Structure 1
Amino acid sequence: MNSTKDKKAEVNVGCVAIDDYDWLRGVEMKKTKKPTLAFGCSVLGGLLLYYAMMWLQPTLPSILFDYHYWLDHMMTSPLMKFYWMIGDMTEPFFFKSLLGGIGLLIGSILAYQLDKRKSRYRLTPITYGYGKLWPWLFAASFLSLLIVTLLFGNIRSEEPGWVATFIPYVSIAGAVILKYGGNMKSVLTGSILGALFSTPITMFIRYICLANGLPGVIGSVSGMWIGGIIVLQTCYYLPWMTLVETAPNSSVIPGEMTIAQLKKASPNRFFIRRLLADYSEPMFVGNEYAGFFLIIGSLLSWLLNPYHVSYGTGLFPGILLAGWLSGAVAIYLYWDKWMEQDFFPSFVGIVSVAPQTVLKFGSSIWIIVFTAVLAAIICPPIAEYVNSKLPKHWHSMIGFTFSMALGTVVITLILRYLQMSFPFLF
């Protein structure tokens, strides 16, 4: 995750090889056209994939274990518990996929190695140009995930019989590393405090939400922003924690076009790349390889057993489409923001808001499209506004997750009203 208030200190570069930059000078002076072709192809491709998956799903085998077997046996089997932790890496998108988590990890390692070797094929530099921090960030996030899984993984609630063990992996631990640098003090402090605060807060708020008919994801993301405030404020006063101003370690590589140049010279190409990179934003990766392999791995899990992914609901096609459309609409709708800034939170609708609505209200195509568009419209501006008001020692993850919570409440209430007033739509 990134912050617009820190954008001056960040360098984002891509890896499109060109022989001569001279022709870009004139292009950069012109107002960039919106990537209508890429947007249209993304929407059409997403819809075609959705209908193909819905047609194919009843015929798929059950080669991979299903979700309920996974949930039951992770309590007693160390191997299943480890698999559960890998699957937690895909939880922000409601995929819950073992192979998706492996794909994310493979893509992240690939992006890190290419960035480290200064390869022109690295695409968007991992971790917003702070690539040297990624191993520390991953270590802190995974350690926090391990602590939560060991402490709370065997707890079962009445509904839905599940505890959100993934919370610190995509929030507090990584935020601490990005604010306090890559070192053992940051790793241990961020992972331990993140684990101890985020999940209990999540469990409490989820209970309140579920008791009042609201989506449990409100509790999940609220545990991130509330826990994040507590932990980051605590770190600010801890004597062994020192805020650092780490300069991005990515530089322009010969034969490489910067992201700023790519946005103006090839908006359609940037659109597709940004949409894929958005799928790794919650993990503080922000790279196309990671997002691509996450999606491919999750699709492979679905092909091997459609009831392995997305909590065994069979709603994975709708969840995938809702997130994809939300990301595409957000990038296209706020294209001028992307042109003006190094970063804009177009990914927040993909995470939690759009897919959660599919889980709660079903995967009819009108619900998918309606919620995807609403999430894309509502969530990014909220995130941007909140982050513009944060203290320097708080990470922008707080604004992102707050926007997810508020957006989910608003969209759920709108759909609940429509459900009561126009029940034939549901």
Structure 2
Amino acid sequence: MSGVVDPTKPTYGSALRTLVTVTFVVLACVTVWALAGGHSWEGDYGDLSGLARWVLAAFSEPQFYAVGSAGALLLAGGLVGHIAHRRGWYLQGFVQACGTGIWPSVAGSALLSVVLGALVWGGTLAGGTWQPLFVPLASVAPAVVALYGPGRRVFVTGAVSGALLAPPAAIGLVRWVCQPLDLPPVVGATGGMALAATVTFLICPQLRWMPEPWAWRSEAPAAPASGRRAAQQGPVWVLRRALADLSEAQFFGNEWASAALIVGALLAYATSPQSLAYGSGLFVTILVGQFMSTLTGVFVWRHRWLAAGFYPTFVPAASLVPATVLTYDGALLPTLVAALAGALIAPPTAAAISGRLPVGFHPFVGNVAAMSICTALIVPQLSVLPGVKQ
């Protein structure tokens, strides 16, 4: 009927106000990046600006970028994706936080967890030593919130559990397993995520304030529909999903978030190429290898996406591929083999492990376990390729 406004349909005015707000957020994040400089925080608790820079960089460390501008814009892009979902925009992209839409709680718990973890374990960074202190934000904290819901007690439980359990598990595996066996550190970091999450998911059911897993999903209000037709896994869908996979490790998994992450990394690369990827100068090779892997994986396993609604095609992009690039100094053949082999092997490995987890475990445990296993098994074997020097 003419003149009647549908309250579930966003107006152009509200969309414009939201776009302006988001623009200011993005500009603020870029300003933070420009003023922050590097992220060399060495556990000095009096250096609050250094800690803030380190936290921003940590948000892009699951992709091996480890630079503040990428982390800042990832958060801004995640905010755009969340607003677009809540307002039912046509171009909202994939729903974040494992398709739950509770991005603020998931991202907030991850942020709190990595800050608490830095405060508890920051002393291990003394002297400029690298430690996998970023691990809470891509493991226990967001997984607990996604599994048990966005309640205040769940939020705090996930953040504290991640901060206390994930860093020491990852540090221990890197030091006592990866270093003696000459394995990439990501093997220990992701193995530590799986170990810490296993302990957490065994403890959580014993905590009387924790609800039943997934029970909150039936009570959550539905977001407005976007009006987009159901995806048919065509070429455009494959490209969108491959892009979204680049932020899936942080439980974002959204095109807005991934695009902003890449823009932030490119901004840093344009001014200081050595500031990314642990000073290796191999950011471009890592990014190309990651996108090649996600694109191949999504294309090959698109029927699994159609059947299940999700398939862990992001796994090699956050582990095997960047680890290979760093191990073999960006050599073309190992990177190509790792991207293709990872796309074919890692997703079904992750799905097989996740499908056999006990009730009450978030499936991400299988994803990070597959990251650790596939990287440990494949990366050393690539040294036999012709012309490869490790």
TM bucket normalised to smaller: 0.7 to 0.9
What CA distance in whole angstroms lies between the structure 2 residues aligned with 1:101 and 1:389?
Answer: 33
Of 241, 249, 253, the match for 1:286 = 253
Show the counterpart of 2:225: 253
What CA distance in whole angstroms lies between the structure 1 residues aligned with 2:196 and 2:105?
Answer: 20
Question: Is 1:111 equivalent to 2:81 in the alignment?
Answer: yes
Show the counterpart of 1:136: 105
Question: Is 1:154 equivalent to 2:123 in the alignment?
Answer: yes
Show the counterpart of 1:200: 168
Partner of 1:155, secondary structure, is: helix
In the alignment, is the contact (CA less than 8 A) between 1:167 and 1:224 conserved in 2? yes
- Return the TM-score normalized by structure 2: 0.85
What CA distance in whole angstroms lies between the structure 2 residues aligned with 1:424 and 1:130?
Answer: 44
Show the counterpart of 1:347: 314
Matches within 5 A, 1:4-403: 70-72=40-42, 77-131=47-101, 133-156=102-125, 161-208=129-176, 209-243=178-212, 244-245=214-215, 246-247=217-218, 249-250=221-222, 253=225, 255-257=227-229, 261-264=230-233, 267-403=234-370
| 1:93 positional shift | 0.7
From the superposition, tell whether residues 238 and 424 of structure 1 become closer, same or farther in structure 2 (CA, over 3 Å): closer
In the alignment, is the contact (CA less than 8 A) between 1:263 and 1:270 conserved in 2? yes
In the alignment, is the contact (CA less than 8 A) between 2:113 and 2:160 conserved in 1? yes
What CA distance in whole angstroms lies between the structure 2 residues aligned with 1:74 and 1:167?
Answer: 20
- Return the TM-score normalized by structure 1: 0.78
Partner of 1:99, secondary structure, is: helix
Partner of 1:286, secondary structure, is: coil
What CA distance in whole angstroms lies between the structure 2 residues aligned with 1:130 and 1:154?
Answer: 36
From the superposition, tell whether residues 262 and 85 of structure 1 become closer, same or farther in structure 2 (CA, over 3 Å): same
What is the letter of the counterpart of residue 125 of structure 2?
A: R
Write the deviation string for residues 106-143 of structure 1: whole angstroms up to 9, x where unpaired.
Answer: 11111111111222221222224422x22111221111
From the superposition, tell whether residues 309 and 225 of structure 1 become closer, same or farther in structure 2 (CA, over 3 Å): same
What CA distance in whole angstroms lies between the structure 2 residues aligned with 1:73 and 1:391?
Answer: 37
| 1:255 positional shift | 3.1
| 1:85 positional shift | 0.3
Partner of 1:385, secondary structure, is: helix
What is the letter of the counterpart of residue 198 of structure 1?
A: A
What CA distance in whole angstroms lies between the structure 1 residues aligned with 2:98 and 2:61?
Answer: 22
What CA distance in whole angstroms lies between the structure 1 residues aligned with 2:368 and 2:61?
Answer: 14
CA RMSD in angstroms comes to 2.2
From the superposition, tell whether residues 230 and 367 of structure 1 become closer, same or farther in structure 2 (CA, over 3 Å): same
In the alignment, is the contact (CA less than 8 A) between 2:43 and 2:126 conserved in 1? no
| 1:251 positional shift | 5.2
In the comparison of the two structures, how many residue pairs are matched? 353
Show the counterpart of 1:33: none
What CA distance in whole angstroms lies between the structure 2 residues aligned with 1:65 and 1:193?
Answer: 29
Q: Which runs of 5+ in 1 are unaligned?
A: 1-62
In the alignment, is the contact (CA less than 8 A) between 1:66 and 1:307 conserved in 2? no
| 1:373 positional shift | 1.1
What CA distance in whole angstroms lies between the structure 2 residues aligned with 1:381 and 1:375?
Answer: 10
Q: Which runs of 5+ in 2 are unaligned?
A: 1-33
Write the deviation string for residues 260-289 of structure 1: whole angstroms up to 9, x where unpaired.
Answer: x3225xx01101110111112112122110
Write the deviation string for residues 315-360 of structure 1: whole angstroms up to 9, x where unpaired.
Answer: 1111112211111111122232223221111100101111011111
From the superposition, tell whether residues 284 and 392 of structure 1 become closer, same or farther in structure 2 (CA, over 3 Å): same
| 1:66 positional shift | 7.1
What CA distance in whole angstroms lies between the structure 1 residues aligned with 2:111 and 2:187?
Answer: 23
Show the counterpart of 1:31: none
Higher relative contact order (CA 8 A, sep 6+): 1
Partner of 2:310, secondary structure, is: coil
What CA distance in whole angstroms lies between the structure 2 residues aligned with 1:378 and 1:157?
Answer: 38
| 1:313 positional shift | 1.3
| Runs ≥4 residues deviating over 4 A | 63-67, 71-76, 248-252, 422-426
